[in-house]
Structure formats: C-alpha cells, structure tokens
Amino acid sequence: MKLIQHGAIKAAALSILAAATTMAEETIKVGVLHSLSGTMAISETSLKNTALMAIEEINAAGGVLGKKLEPVVVDPASNWPLFAEKARQLITQDKVAVTFGCWTSVSRKSVLPVYEELDALLFYPVQYEGEELSQNVFYTGAAPNQQAIPAVEYLMSKAGGGAKRWVLLGTDYVYPRTTNKILRAFLHSKGVADADILEEYTPFGHSDYQTIVANVKKFAQGGKTAVVSTINGDSNIPFYKELGNQGIKATQIPVVAFSVGEEELRGVDTKPLVGHLAAWNYFQSVKNPVNAAFIKKYKEWAVANKIPNAATVVTNDPMEATYVGINMWAKAVAKAGTTEVGAVRKAMSGMTFKAPSGFTLTMDATNHHLHKPVMIAEVRADGQFNVVWKTPAPIRAQPWSPYIEGNKGKKD
Amino acid sequence: MRFLSSACSLLLALMFACPAQALVPEDLKAFAEGGPFERSELISTWASSQDTALTAFLDALEEGSLGAFPSGLLARTPDGEEFREWHTDTLIHEDPMTWEGIMVSNVLRAGVERARASQGLASSDPAVRREAVEALRSAASDPAMLEVVERARDRETDATTKALLQDLTRRLALSATDPERRIAAARALQQSGDASTNFKLLQGLLSTDESDDARETDPKVRAVFQSISTSLEARAAFFEFLGHIFAGISLGSILVLTALGLAITYGLLGVINMAHGELVMIGAYTTFLVQGIFRSWLPELEWMYVIAALPAAFAVSGLVGIALERLILRHLYGRPLESLLATWGASLILIQCVRSLFGPQNVEVSSPSWLSGAIELQTNLVLPWNRLAIIAFSAIVLICTGLVLSRSRFGLFVRATTQNRAMARCTGVRTDLVDMLAFGFGSGLAGLAGVALSQVGNVGPDLGQARIIDSFLVVVVGGVGQLAGALWAGLGLGMFSKILEPLSGAVMAKIALLVVIILFIQKRPQGLFALKGRQAE
C-alpha cells in the first residue's frame, strides 16, 4: 500500500512537469486478483499480501528491465462472475502485464475464457484437480499426482499405518468430486474393493458433522481406516472439533487433508488434532536457509504493513507458490527482455527458482506446471506441521490424470 | 489391525512372562537405524520391562530430543547445544545445524501409547490401570492372549476395570479351542458390552472367505453365532438410531438458540433483521476477547472463561443491537422492505469491521477441559460434553426468556406493544423505549448463541452468514412471534435433517429439508403456531 501511495505522490509531482505519460511507461503493472472480502477472504488475503511483498522485494532489487513493478490490487469479493469482470478490467483498462490470482477452481474456470480471449497471462498458485491445460495459465500449485496420490500411498504403507479402508470426505463441488474420482480409480488399481471405500459430500459451509463422524467411526470398525478430506473452507473447523469430541485419535483413524494448512489451523485449538495429516509441497516448518529468509521477510512485511494479528502470521503452501510464481515471471521477463506474452511464455519453459521448500523448482518445458516435491506432515500441538515423508526430488505434474477415463493419450 | 493385535499380544505375553532386559545397546542401534514401523515394534517389545529408563526414553522421544545419527542414538540437552549418546551419556560432537530429531509419526506414537498403556497395567493406581485396559481393549484380538487377560482379570481388584477385562476375556474366548466355551462367550456378549463392536467381531468370525484362518468352522457354533449376531445387529441399529436422535436434539438446540433472538425481533417487533447473524458473530468474538483477558490476567481461572463470556456477550451484542435500532431501524418501523435492506447493509458493515479489526482468519476459541470429552455409552452412541452443555443452556435460555416475557413488567410492555401499539401508548407505555429494549434483548440472546457456537464451530467474520438462513427457517416454520413455535420448529428441523442425513447424505438432506419447508409454508403460511384473535388480522 505504501508503495502505491508513494507512487501516487511521485506521479502528482511529475504531472506538474506534464510528464504523466512517461511515468506510466516507467512502471510495469502487475494485477493481483484475490478475494479480500466474502467467504474466500480467509484464504486469499494472505496471497495478496505475499504478492505485494514479493513485488516490493523485486523493486528493492532494481525492478525488472530497469522498471519498477506496480501492483494493481482488485477485490473480486468471492463472487465467481465478478472474477471474470475484474480480470477483464485488469487486462483491458489497467493494461497489466500479468495477473497473479484465484483460489477456487470455479473462479479459475470463470476467468479462463477472458485470459484466452485477450491472450493474457495468469499465474494460479493453488493445488487443484487437474483436467485443464491452458496456454494462458501457469499453474504453480500441485496437480493430483503431486499431492493426493502420494498422500494415499503413504497411508497405505507400513510407515503410514497400513490403511485398508478409505473414507473420501469432501465439500460438494468440482475439486473434491474430481479428486475423489481419481482416488477411487487409484484405489481400485491397488486392489481396494468398492465396499472398502465410503464417499461422502457435504454442502459448502456445513457445520454439523455429528452423523458423519459417527458414520466414519462405524465404518472404521471393519478394519484400519484412513480419511481423505477434501473439505474446503470454514467447514473444516467444526469437522475437526467433532473428531475431537467423539474421541477419534489420529493413531486410530488418521485424517489427511488437502486444503488444510498453517493458515487454516490458526483458528483452531490443535491439541486434539495432533497426528492428523496434510499433504502439500511446502510447510512453514521446513528447515532451510531460503525458507528461514522467506518467513522472516513475510513477518517483517506483515508488521511493517500493520496486518491484523501481525505477530502470529504464518506462511503456507499457496503463499510459497505465489512467491515462486512472481519471481519466476520476473526472471522470465528479464530473460525475454520484454513483457510481451508470447515471449514471456517461451522464456518461462524450463525456468528454475530456488524455492523456500528447499528444492530448486523447474517450470516444465511443455505443460505449464511446476515440478514440485511432495511433503506429508502431521499436525503438531502448536498448529505447525512435522514433515514425516517427502519425495527425494521434485516430481513432474500430470494435469491429465491417467486414472480418469478418456485421458489416455492426452498430451501434456 | 492385524499388526496392532499381534504387537499387543506379543507385548502382553512378554509383560506377564518375564521382565526382559530392555534398552540394550544393540536394540538402540536397531532403533536408530529403523524406519517408523520398525521403531514402533521395538518399543512394543521393550514395553514389558518396568524399567524407569523406558519411561525416560519415551518422554525424550515425545519431546523430540532424540536424534538418530551415524554415530548412534543421541539425546540433545535442553539448551540444544550439546549431544550425548543415549545409553552411555557420553558427550558426542555434532554440528547443531545438522540436528534433526526423530519424528514421532502416528505409527510411532501408537507404539508409544501401547508401551505406556502396558506399563500402566501393572501400576498400583487403579485409575492408571483402567486407562491402560481401555487403551489395550481397542486393539487386542489375538486368541493367544486369552489366558494372560484372564489372569489379569482374576488379579484385578477394581470393579470397573475387572468388568472391562471380563469383557475383553469374552471377546477373546470367541476363538477359544473349546466349542462350548466359544458358544458361552458369544451368549455372554449378547447380553452385555458394546453391541456394535461385538456385532462386527462376530461378522468377522462368520466370514465366508475360505482362506480366512480366523473364521469359525464348526457348523453348530456357526449357527449360534449367526442367531446372536442377528440380535446384536438389531441392538446396534437401535443404539445408532439413539445416536441420530441425540444429534438431532443437539442440532435442534443450536437452531433454537440462534433463532430465539430472531423470534423476538422479527416476531414481536416485525423487523426482518438481516444482521441477526452478525450479532451472533459479535457474541462469539466477545467470547474470544474474554478468553484472551482470562489468559493474560487470570490464567488460573481460565476454565471458567465461558461462564464469564455469557454476560459479556449478552451485553456487547445487546448494545450493538440497541445502536442498530436507534440509528437505523427506528426510522424504518412499518417499512419491512427498507428495514430488510438497511439491516443487510448493516450486516455487511459489521462483517467488514470485524475483518479489519481481527483479520479475515478465524480466531481460536478453545473449549475448557470440562467441556471437552464425551460420555461413551456405546461406540455409536457418544454424548460429547459440549453438546450436552449446549442443550442444557438452550433449555435454560428458553425458559428464562419465556419467564421474562410472561412474568416481568418489561415482558408485559413488550406483549402490549406487539398486540396493539396505539392502545399501549394510550395507557402510558413508552413504546419507543420498549422497542429499543426489546430489540436489545433479542440481540443479547443472539450474543448468547454466539458463545455457544464458539464451542462447536469456527469463529470468523462469516460465522453469522451461515446461520441466518437456518434461523429464519426456524422462525417462519414455527410461526411468527411464538417462542413455543421456535422450540418445536428448531427441534423438528434438527431431528429431520439428522435422521435423513445418514440415509441420503448431507447434500440431499439439505435439499429435502428445504422442499419440505416450502410445501409446509404453502399449506400453512402462518407456521406451526399461529397467533389467534383479532390482532392476527
């Protein structure tokens, strides 16, 4: 924010010299499209913060192509059609060179036609269900084979508890439905029968999990059970509270979640949740110098910018993905020597960046997805995570899951 | 399951057989080199010893101060600077930067829990023994353990623990060599114990899978098992149904609580208050603040912060409600559409205010220990304390509200104003004051609902949005202006959705509920309880 004010004062001063037009050329505009109000604000606000921090950092290092980056922040208010409108506004009126934004798959699907029609670039930082590959999007979050499948494999293994029965629990929309379809096919391929899979969905904002947890408990009497949760948003907290209420411990029925990270656990008393799992490509607790610097930078930025509860801010996977995305884009622009979409797209392929996860991530040469390491971690009593398993090296994304019929032979 | 049971039987057998030497250097070396699974099994085998070293070892492991290094198993000193070899206590030089503690993952944690339980079984403290038996009960199913458990049962002096061991003996006797004994055990299990668990146990033995070694082969015993299993199934289903009824009552009590304030503001004053949910949210945030105050200044009294939060939330939400009434609604009485829009606007303002003050993330409200935990009557009939407390709390609030409205002078004025405003004013009732106080009272009740909700759900800026629709449903179905209507409608809706949910899934249950309400309102627009008499027209 400070940056914009600063820019505005400078612009006002320069306009006296009738140099406002040259001023506009001196910055490169960058769109930030995240919900700052409505239901998704809980998750997306921290991504906006990360984007602004990364832009500040790049500017402090001299900007890109000798120009400063100028963030244009808009608020689509968790309203999916509004995402498309705001995206169009960013591209056609504000003339941004690139946009960093979206969280839910439905918001991405809403803006996708706009980016394809106007041939602009979007960086999407959240893990998703795959089944998409656009020339105009760079996906810096995980595809199913970089999150869901390794997590299930881990729980099947001896070290993960050797689960035999599976509860696939999700919120009723496209991401959980598609992920569970992939997981069901994967479990079949591992010899798990349909009778050993229980698939359940709840509406958005569902807050009473009594019967569902009782059901899970009953199902678990038939053998070692693990729960795969794709519950999204606010429903997670009543769900975890109910697990604690009914005395289900992670040693008996572990729950692995794909949409619960450090940020989501900030509002929860995590003592009863110790041992439940999450699968991501980054955790704040990962120890390495890049991550230590990343966390320190973000904490300082939060304090300096008076973010509410700045003392307790955390970093999480989509924030890391946002940070990686912006830095890769800046490097690609520097390499291409222009912000022109076609040239940047070309420069992005094979781009590398030393990420806070402790690995050097590579943008795939063809499929616009990052090669990412997979980490599986257990909840600690302090709301952070202990990584209990991780891949030795980043793995390549498969946006077209081989476990979905009709994807065979699709080129990624 | 199989692994758990075998590890358990091993551990129990060892425990009663010989006090083996534990924590020898070779074992520690194997521990340092093994994966989580091997480590867990090792701990289980060590658990037989009543060695104090094992307790210290488990403590250090859970604290994360043990690390596996090529040089062996090292323990880190509390300051994190020095490293000592575990079994010799000699100083080893390692770079502190390379330190990585052994992660206690679920598999390892389960091993630690079993080890602690088995140590507890030999404890002289009956409470510790009981806890240990409970922990072992869920995992043990190896017939080889029968004698061991029987012996422990005979030795046990505490009645409850003895009963638990007796139950475990019967379960194990289901696989005894003597067929008569197997039948007797099954008959005993039919009468007592956990119907659902025993049913599953018998089902497992009745498996038709020929390759399953554990299955019952004697046709006579099979027939007995089959008939007992059928009767157990009915009992298990009955308890499950009771569980659904409880869930329904619990959901209903929450609905009643959130709708009660609305029943007053909407029912008595005729104001469609879209900001009602936000008043609930403010109550929940007040709970959060009270918790913070107790944590900072009265940490020894933290267990009772919820009780202190009740009057605070009532006051804060009530005052916000009064402010709403004075600033906005007062000017809009008799114009329902405008007041609907104005309160909706107010609700958005309140949400964004809270978001700017506290941030968009949820805040943590932890349940005090006396509200955590549950009474477990059966595996599928668990009564959590916080839900029981909310049911009781709802009943108290409902009764108090009823008394205030029917017995107090304020209640008399409210009823008079509702029934005939002009006449009430003629007799000297200050109707504008009554409006304000009644609105404040309704808002205060919303604040109380917020305290209750903070114990079962999340506390975030959007908390109210999710609740407002359900609250309106309760008020509309119940009949405008009727407390009894709110009660029956709340309980009815809660019960309906909880009984439907296991049959059709949560999504379909919600849809079915809305369809039923639409049909109901078509048939009976005035709701369950209609006002009778002249003022109804």
Structure tokens at B515: 């369809």
CB contact under 8 A, B457 and A237: yes
CA distance to partner chain B, nearest, from residue A177 (Å)? 13
Predicted local confidence at residue A297, as pLDDT: 95
pLDDT band per the 50, 70, 90 thresholds, residue B53: confident
pLDDT band per the 50, 70, 90 thresholds, residue B144: low
Where a domain ends, among A237, A257, A277?
A: A257
**Separation of alpha carbons B250 and A293, rounded Å:** 48
Yes or no: say if A42 and B361 are a contact pair by the CB < 8 Å rule.
Answer: yes
Indicate which of B141, B361, B390 best probes the interface with A, i.e. most A CBs within 10 Å of its own CB. B361
Co-location of A237 and A349 in the same domain: no
Predicted local confidence at residue B96, as pLDDT: 66
Q: How many CB atoms lie within 10 A of CB A3?
A: 16
- For B241, the closest chain A residue by CA position comes to A211
Residue A153 belongs to domain spanning = 148-257
Predicted local confidence at residue B524, as pLDDT: 85
Co-location of A208 and A120 in the same domain: no
In the sheet that holds A197-202, the strands lie side by side as A197-202, A165-171, A225-230, A255-257, A277-280, A375-379, A385-390
CB contact under 8 A, A42 and B247: no
pTM of this structure: 0.82
Predicted local confidence at residue A197, as pLDDT: 95
CB contact under 8 A, A203 and B498: no
- Among A1-10, A169-178, B64-73, B333-342, name the one with the lowest average pLDDT: A1-10
B-chain CB neighbours of A238 within 8 Å are: 456-458
CB contact under 8 A, A210 and B251: yes
Three-state DSSP at B378 gives strand
Is A211 a domain residue?
Answer: yes
**Separation of alpha carbons B198 and B489, rounded Å:** 38
Co-location of A135 and A153 in the same domain: no
Tell me the per-residue pLDDT of B243-287, one tens digit each, with 9 for 90 and over.
889 999 999 999 999 999 888 887 667 778 899 999 999 999 999
- For B247, the closest chain A residue by CA position comes to A210
Tell me the per-residue pLDDT of B204-225, one tens digit each, with 9 for 90 and over.
777 776 666 667 778 888 888 8
CA distance to partner chain B, nearest, from residue A127 (Å)? 20
Residue B131 or A74, more confident: A74
**Separation of alpha carbons B311 and A261, rounded Å:** 35
Co-location of A47 and A101 in the same domain: yes
pLDDT for residue B6 is more than 90: no
| Interchain contact A352–B (C-beta under 8 A) | no
Q: CB neighbours of A408 closer than 8 A, spacing ≥ 6?
A: A402
Q: What is the widest separation between alpha-carbon atoms in chain B?
A: 95
| Residues of chain A numbered 189-248 and touching chain B (CB < 8 Å) | 200-203, 205-208, 210-212, 214-215, 217-218, 221-224, 234, 236-238, 241-242, 244-247
Which among B37, B109, B250 has the least Cβ separation from residue A275?
B109
pLDDT for residue B523 is more than 70: yes
CA distance to partner chain A, nearest, from residue B416 (Å)? 38
Is A278 a domain residue?
Answer: no
Mean pLDDT for B108-123 is 78
Tell me the per-residue pLDDT of A75-100, one tens digit each, with 9 for 90 and over.
998 889 999 999 999 999 999 999 99
Predicted local confidence at residue B536, as pLDDT: 43
> Which among A54, A59, A40, A61 is positioned nearest to A107, based on CA atoms?
A40
A-chain CB neighbours of B3 within 8 Å are: 162
CB contact under 8 A, B507 and A245: no
| Interchain contact A37–B (C-beta under 8 A) | yes
Query: In CATH, what number is assigned to the domain containing residue A173?
Result: 3.40.50.2300
CA distance to partner chain A, nearest, from residue B498 (Å)? 7
Yes or no: say if B262 and B280 are a contact pair by the CB < 8 Å rule.
Answer: no
B-chain CB neighbours of A170 within 8 Å are: none
Residue A412 or B483, more confident: B483
On the 0-12 / 13-18 / 19+ scale of CB atoms within 10 A, B239 is middle
- % of chain B surpassing 90 pLDDT: 24
**Separation of alpha carbons B365 and B283, rounded Å:** 12
Indicate which of A42, A249, A260 best probes the interface with B, i.e. most B CBs within 10 Å of its own CB. A42
Which among A215, A221, A251 has the least Cβ separation from residue B110?
A251
pLDDT for residue B194 is more than 50: yes
Q: CB neighbours of B413 closer than 8 A, spacing ≥ 6?
A: B424, B429, B434
CB contact under 8 A, A210 and B250: yes
Yes or no: say if B89 and B129 are a contact pair by the CB < 8 Å rule.
Answer: no
Question: Where do the H-state alpha helices sit in A141-209?
Answer: 148-156, 174-189
Predicted local confidence at residue B269, as pLDDT: 74
Residue B2 or A321, more confident: A321
pLDDT for residue B402 is more than 50: yes
Three-state DSSP at A124 gives strand
As a whole number of Å, the end-to-end CA separation of chain A is: 39
| Residues of chain A numbered 77-116 and touching chain B (CB < 8 Å) | none
CB contact under 8 A, A210 and B247: yes
Q: What is the widest separation between alpha-carbon atoms in chain A?
A: 79
Low-confidence spans in chain A with pLDDT less than 50: 1-4, 7-8, 11-24
Which among A39, A206, A266 has the least Cβ separation from residue B364?
A266
Question: Where do the H-state alpha helices sit in B263-335?
Answer: 276-297, 305-327
| Interchain contact A275–B (C-beta under 8 A) | yes
Question: Where do the H-state alpha helices sit in B174-275?
Answer: 179-191, 195-205, 219-262
A-chain CB neighbours of B202 within 8 Å are: none
A-chain CB neighbours of B380 within 8 Å are: 214, 217-218
CA distance to partner chain B, nearest, from residue A398 (Å)? 29
Co-location of A124 and A80 in the same domain: yes
CB contact under 8 A, A160 and B196: no
Q: What is the 3-state secondary structure (H, E, C) of B3-56?
A: HHHHHHHHHHHHHHHCCCCCCCHHHHHHHHHCCHHHHHHHHHHHCCCCCHHHHH
Tell me the per-residue pLDDT of B286-305, one tens digit each, with 9 for 90 and over.
999 999 999 999 888 888 89
Is A367 a domain residue?
Answer: yes
CB contact under 8 A, B362 and A202: no
B-chain CB neighbours of A173 within 8 Å are: none
Predicted local confidence at residue B342, as pLDDT: 93
Predicted local confidence at residue A194, as pLDDT: 92
Predicted local confidence at residue A25, as pLDDT: 54
Complex ipTM > 0.85: no
Q: Which long-range contacts link B427-436 to residues 24+ away (Cβ below 8 Å)?
A: B432/B330, B434/B410, B435/B269, B435/B325, B435/B330, B435/B333, B436/B322, B436/B325, B436/B326, B436/B330
Angle between helices B219-262 and B385-407 (to 10 degrees): 40
pLDDT band per the 50, 70, 90 thresholds, residue B232: confident
- Among A281-285, B295-299, B380-384, B517-521, name the one with the lowest average pLDDT: B380-384
Which among B357, B362, B506 has the least Cβ separation from residue A201?
B506
Structure tokens at A129: 């269900």
What are the two backbone dihedrals, phi and then psi, of residue A189, each rounded to the nearest 5 degrees? Answer: -65, -20
A-chain CB neighbours of B4 within 8 Å are: 224
**Separation of alpha carbons A278 and B225, rounded Å:** 42
Co-location of A130 and A240 in the same domain: no
pLDDT band per the 50, 70, 90 thresholds, residue B527: confident
**Separation of alpha carbons B205 and B209, rounded Å:** 10
CA distance to partner chain B, nearest, from residue A335 (Å)? 36
CA distance to partner chain A, nearest, from residue B53 (Å)? 24
B-chain CB neighbours of A161 within 8 Å are: 106-107, 110
List b or e across B144-170, with b for residues whose CB sees 16 or more CB atoms inside 10 angstroms: ebbebbbebbeebeeeebbbbbbbbbb
Co-location of A63 and A135 in the same domain: yes
> Which among A236, A273, A235 is positioned nearest to A384, based on CA atoms?
A273
Domain count for chain A, please give it. Answer: 2
Residues paired with residue A371 on neighbouring β-strands, in sequence order: A362
B-chain CB neighbours of A163 within 8 Å are: none
Three-state DSSP at A69 gives strand
pLDDT for residue B467 is more than 50: yes
pLDDT band per the 50, 70, 90 thresholds, residue B14: very low
| Interchain contact A129–B (C-beta under 8 A) | no
**Separation of alpha carbons B487 and B503, rounded Å:** 25
CB contact under 8 A, B103 and A387: yes
pLDDT band per the 50, 70, 90 thresholds, residue B118: confident
Which among B374, B387, B462 has the least Cβ separation from residue A39?
B462
Question: Where do the H-state alpha helices sit in A61-131?
Answer: 80-92, 105-118
Co-location of A93 and A34 in the same domain: yes
